[in-house]
Structure 1
Amino acid sequence: MNTSPPLDLAGTAVSPDHYIDGRRVASERSFALSSPIDQRPLGQIAEGLEVHCEAALQAAQRAFPAWSALSAAQRKPLLDRFAEEIGRRADAFCQLESLDAGVLLSRMRHGVVPRAMLNIRWFAEHALTLQDRPIDTEQAHHIVRHDPAGVVVIVTPWNAPLMLSTWKLGPALAAGNCCILKPPEWAPLTCSLLADAAHAAGLPPGVFNVVQGSGAGTGARLVGDPRVARVSFTGSVPTARLIAQAAGANLVPCSLELGGKSAFIVLEDADLDGAAATAALMYRNAGQVCLAGTRLLVHAAVRERFVAAMRGHVERLTVGDPRADSTEVGPIIHPRQVERVQGFVQRAVAAGAELLWGGERHPHGAQYFQPTLLANVAQDSEIVQNEVFGPVLTLQSFSSDDEAVAMANGTDYGLGGICYGETAHATALAQRVRTGFIWVNSFGIRDLAAPFGGIKRSGVGREGGDWSFEFFCDIKDVVVPKQPFKASFSHR
């Protein structure tokens, strides 16, 4: 098949084509890509049609027998080289994702790229622990195996394309599966560069494929195919419902990491300045972070002092070009998302919310929005109940721990949470919040060995450590009797 000339972006040559069966594949159809920083056109990206999805599925199927037959120890050197190749392209990954998704360049350099490398290396190492696990009983010796599931479709969101792609690819590949990655339509460039890294590392053709395109077109074709063994998705609740329906028709297991409307609880005995400084962090990545604590629940006795302290931190935030080291809040990904965020704020104010700060587009550019805080919001209001996914927080007050817990649990989401207060007090209250995880007097601490995921509308399943392998593997029990087995219809 023909290939397209590479795009020259931020000093990097990046292919706009798919990556299927170890080579680049062009498409007769494409979609336009522009930068959220300044709306500059970045180029035309190949759109995945039925022929490309079919080619990727066939390639992954062909590659699966040989790749799955390798031991974890045999796959590990290839995956380690994959991580090394990501590192060799570190600056390119940083520049492209900042240009493509508006992510802070400093965050890419110091957080995302090192984490992407670790995602591959850590799971390659952890897969070595999945040797046949024995269970001895009185009657038999059980050998519990983690067998590769087959062809895996991975669908990632636009707010963290590189990190979340490698977070899923690491365990899926280490377990012996062959993967098809469907990048986000609004930010596909680092996923394309990821294919270059995999190719340079020597991953066999068909083990890792990238097919670009829309969720409704390309994504739907892939997740609904009966040859797929697993679907791993991070994104919105409406899209997850469609994916679950399509995969469910074939009884294909899905891992769904979805939205959040997490509570940020500030108790009366909290370090208020520390809590306020952490609350200001919720505006980073322009609020496009699913695990951010967007609902500030502050004890009534310290509300005014907390707001004053937070205002000071927010006023020092620099909104601007994400490639500048001084910038702390960058652009929103797409004009449609800007309109969505602004609509939430306008409707909340019209319903009686008090605008403490922000509320408008930022003068830096068309896709920049002011860090915003809304008070006087009802628990059942749209702005409290629904995910905004922008730099918009709400403020509510409580007078008792029971009230705080009721408010924290009073949405259909349950991804994360934050609780600031005296350690024992905050820890005890955190255990009462119904959520997948919650940080005490901290934010963003993650460990690859720990489980990650939500409850209620925030998702299905857990990722990380053994939980990732439980999903990406078929668990098999090989039962060997300790005594000679005699077949009998007797029930005695």
Structure 2
Amino acid sequence: MIEVEGVKIDTRHWIGGERVASTRSFPDISPIDERHLGDLDAAGAAEVDQAVTAARAAFPAWAALGPTGRGAILRRVADGIDERREDLARVETRDNGSLLRSHRRGVMPRVAMNFRFFADYAEKLAHPGMEVRGHRERITYDPAGVTAIITPWNAPLMLATWRIGPALAAGNTVVLKPPEWAPLTASLLADIAHEAGLPAGVLNVVQGTGAEAGAPLTRHPGINRLSFTGSVPTAGVIAAAAAPNVVPLSFELGGKSPLLIFADADLDLAVDLAVEQFDNAGQVCLGAFRLLVQEPIAEEFTARVVERARALVQGDPRDERTDVSALISRPHFERVRGFVDRALADGARALLGGGPNTSLNGLYYSPTILADARPGSEILTEEVFGPVLTVQTFADEDEGVRMANETRFGLAATLVTGSAEKAERVSEKLSAGTVWVNCFFVRDLGAPFGGNGKSGIGREGGTYSFDFYCDVKNTVFSPAGWRES
């Protein structure tokens, strides 16, 4: 047991409705000041197998409850999250360095919504059915079994429950492996779910590294679905591990999204959207870090973005005045610094920042805006996952669209224009799972979410989630052969 921000947290796994200890442990370090928060039990193959076994044992009874029975419990879980919203916000801020004000106002309410929305959706989920040559076809969504969920550190609880919510609502049981760099709120979630009456074994949490806990989970033969959010290289390893068991996969991976700004755009709006990309210190997969600006407005737009970004306050995320916090860990900090150092050596020019924040030290990397990067260079093509924007210009619509699509990723794209016709025309040409027009980060949970290209496999949200987490069954009834009863 450790105490973080006045909140007591059990450092053991949660398996089969009980706390389970391991002989090994791993350290949890806060990015705010690189302070050691405590050591957590580290799972290996034995604990993973125990968790999968518990999930399989709990599956029949959980599936048999039906959407209504499951929904009642999941809504109680959501209520428990609301009741402990402040604890969850403070702990996750300390654990992953995201802004406390964001956790309070947006992230933790969304965590509760992930349970309520999918509980409600499952109760209404129905297919109209079909008919062929007089035969009636009934299409149903059957629970698939055990779902393995592996989540990232940039929004650990929100992204975990975005998968846990629909998986449980569908009637599956879950084994969650939280990120080793920010694992604490997953342990609190297990307590909340237990207190809400979630049956033992329905949700299991195994902590540890990807190599020791993630690897045996992804290759376990008892897994029926696997959802992963993270990097492209890790996704490749997971896919190879899961392939012998032919496990359906849902991958939400990286991005290198464009913010495409046309000369007819509302410049105030365009500047607001550009500066918003520094949210969470740029550690956002959906972030539009490539600013593509039409030439007539490029000089004014760039000057205004630099001025606004220079005014951002960087510091302790627990301070309500802070806009930009620290990067998650020392290895990630060095990774981001390496990207920028190589870009500058390759001829890019720093309009703002370009290095660590020397007044803060630690893991605080200055908000950075780069211009004149060489076309096709690493800084324009690879995901940095830090507070680093690049500025490029384009002459006309065709060139802007071409530059926007010059990426192996396709998670999202944002465009700003004053022309409704142009918005319709350009959005159709952009290769991305989500396109935002004159807005950013707006999406109903019923809408599809996922990426094109190297940004992922599949879509989740609304019916799309149940298409993945369920076995969709078609039963065909003949009009002949019935006996009177």
- TM-score tier by shorter-chain length is over 0.9
After superposition, give the CA deviation of every residue in 1:183-218 in whole Å (9 maximum; x if it has no partner): 000000011111011111110000000000111110
User: Could you tell me which residue of structure 1 aligns to residue 364 of structure 2?
Assistant: 368
User: Could you tell me which residue of structure 2 aligns to residue 83 of structure 1?
Assistant: 78
1:403 is aligned to 2:394: no
Q: CA deviation at 1:312?
A: 2.1
User: Could you tell me which residue of structure 1 aligns to residue 52 of structure 2?
Assistant: 57
After superposition, give the CA deviation of every residue in 1:298-331 in whole Å (9 maximum; x if it has no partner): 0011110001111221122110000000001011
Alignment match of 1:389 (pick from 372, 385, 388): 385
1:159-178 to 2 correspondences below 5 Å: 159-178=154-173
CA distance in 1, matches of 2:437, 2:126: 35
Question: Are the equivalent residues in 1 in contact too, given 2:264–2:419 (CA < 8 A)?
Answer: no
Question: Are the equivalent residues in 1 in contact too, given 2:350–2:371 (CA < 8 A)?
Answer: yes
CA distance in 2, matches of 1:233, 1:280: 29
After superposition, give the CA deviation of every residue in 1:320-369 in whole Å (9 maximum; x if it has no partner): 00000000101100000000000000000101001111011112231001
Q: CA deviation at 1:132?
A: 6.4
1:332 is aligned to 2:297: no
User: Which 10-residue stretch deviates more, 186-195 or 415-424?
Assistant: 415-424
User: Could you tell me which residue of structure 1 aligns to residue 411 of structure 2?
Assistant: 415
User: Could you tell me which residue of structure 2 aligns to residue 153 of structure 1?
Assistant: 148
User: Could you tell me which residue of structure 2 aligns to residue 490 of structure 1?
Assistant: none
User: Could you tell me which residue of structure 2 aligns to residue 481 of structure 1?
Assistant: 478
Aligned to 1:202, the other structure's residue is in SS state coil
Question: Are the equivalent residues in 2 in contact too, given 1:130–1:145 (CA < 8 A)?
Answer: no
1:70-469 to 2 correspondences below 5 Å: 70-131=65-126, 133-362=128-357, 363-424=359-420, 425-469=422-466
Aligned to 1:478, the other structure's residue is in SS state strand
Aligned to 2:406, the other structure's residue is in SS state coil
Q: CA deviation at 1:135?
A: 1.8
CA distance in 1, matches of 2:360, 2:448: 39
Q: CA deviation at 1:278?
A: 1.2
After superposition, give the CA deviation of every residue in 1:206-264 in whole Å (9 maximum; x if it has no partner): 00000001111101101111110000000000110011111112110100000000000
Q: CA deviation at 1:134?
A: 2.6
Output the amino acid matched with 1:484.
G
CA distance in 2, matches of 1:430, 1:447: 19
CA distance in 1, matches of 2:82, 2:22: 29
1:18 is aligned to 2:13: yes
CA distance in 1, matches of 2:345, 2:164: 44
After superposition, give the CA deviation of every residue in 1:445-489 in whole Å (9 maximum; x if it has no partner): 02101111101000000010100000000011111101239xxxx
CA distance in 1, matches of 2:50, 2:204: 10
Question: Are the equivalent residues in 2 in contact too, given 1:127–1:174 (CA < 8 A)?
Answer: yes
Question: Are the equivalent residues in 1 in contact too, given 2:347–2:374 (CA < 8 A)?
Answer: no
Question: Are the equivalent residues in 2 in contact too, given 1:379–1:385 (CA < 8 A)?
Answer: no
CA distance in 2, matches of 1:147, 1:64: 12
Output the amino acid matched with 1:481.
S
Aligned to 1:431, the other structure's residue is in SS state helix
Output the amino acid matched with 2:338.
G
Aligned to 1:228, the other structure's residue is in SS state coil
User: Could you tell me which residue of structure 2 aligns to residue 489 of structure 1?
Assistant: none
Post-superposition, which runs of at least 4 consecutive aligned residues in structure 1 deviate over 6 A?
Answer: none
Alignment match of 1:37 (pick from 27, 32, 56): 32
CA distance in 2, matches of 1:44, 1:350: 40
Output the amino acid matched with 1:59.
A
After superposition, give the CA deviation of every residue in 1:389-421 in whole Å (9 maximum; x if it has no partner): 000011111001100111111110000011011
Output the amino acid matched with 2:430.
V
Question: Are the equivalent residues in 2 in contact too, given 1:427–1:440 (CA < 8 A)?
Answer: no
Aligned to 2:343, the other structure's residue is in SS state helix
Aligned to 1:52, the other structure's residue is in SS state helix
Question: Are the equivalent residues in 1 in contact too, given 2:448–2:460 (CA < 8 A)?
Answer: yes
CA distance in 2, matches of 1:300, 1:132: 50
User: Could you tell me which residue of structure 1 aligns to residue 62 of structure 2?
Assistant: 67
Aligned to 1:180, the other structure's residue is in SS state strand
| Stretches of structure 1 lacking an aligned partner (at least 5 in a row) | 1-5, 486-492
Aligned to 1:427, the other structure's residue is in SS state helix
CA distance in 1, matches of 2:285, 2:71: 31
TM-aligned CA distance change 1:479 to 1:390, over 3 Å: same
Question: Are the equivalent residues in 2 in contact too, given 1:272–1:309 (CA < 8 A)?
Answer: no
Aligned to 2:383, the other structure's residue is in SS state coil
Question: Are the equivalent residues in 2 in contact too, given 1:285–1:330 (CA < 8 A)?
Answer: yes
Output the amino acid matched with 2:24.
R
Aligned to 2:434, the other structure's residue is in SS state coil
User: Which 10-residue stretch deviates more, 421-430 or 26-35?
Assistant: 421-430
Cα RMSD for the two superposed structures = 1.0
Aligned to 2:376, the other structure's residue is in SS state coil
Aligned to 1:84, the other structure's residue is in SS state helix
Question: Are the equivalent residues in 2 in contact too, given 1:423–1:440 (CA < 8 A)?
Answer: no
CA distance in 2, matches of 1:191, 1:219: 15
User: Which 10-residue stretch deviates more, 256-265 or 270-279?
Assistant: 270-279
Q: CA deviation at 1:131?
A: 4.2
| Stretches of structure 2 lacking an aligned partner (at least 5 in a row) | none
Alignment match of 1:470 (pick from 461, 467, 470): 467
CA distance in 2, matches of 1:379, 1:253: 37
User: Which 10-residue stretch deviates more, 178-187 or 266-275?
Assistant: 266-275
User: Could you tell me which residue of structure 2 aligns to residue 488 of structure 1?
Assistant: none
CA distance in 2, matches of 1:142, 1:405: 44
CA distance in 2, matches of 1:214, 1:180: 15
User: Could you tell me which residue of structure 2 aligns to residue 3 of structure 1?
Assistant: none
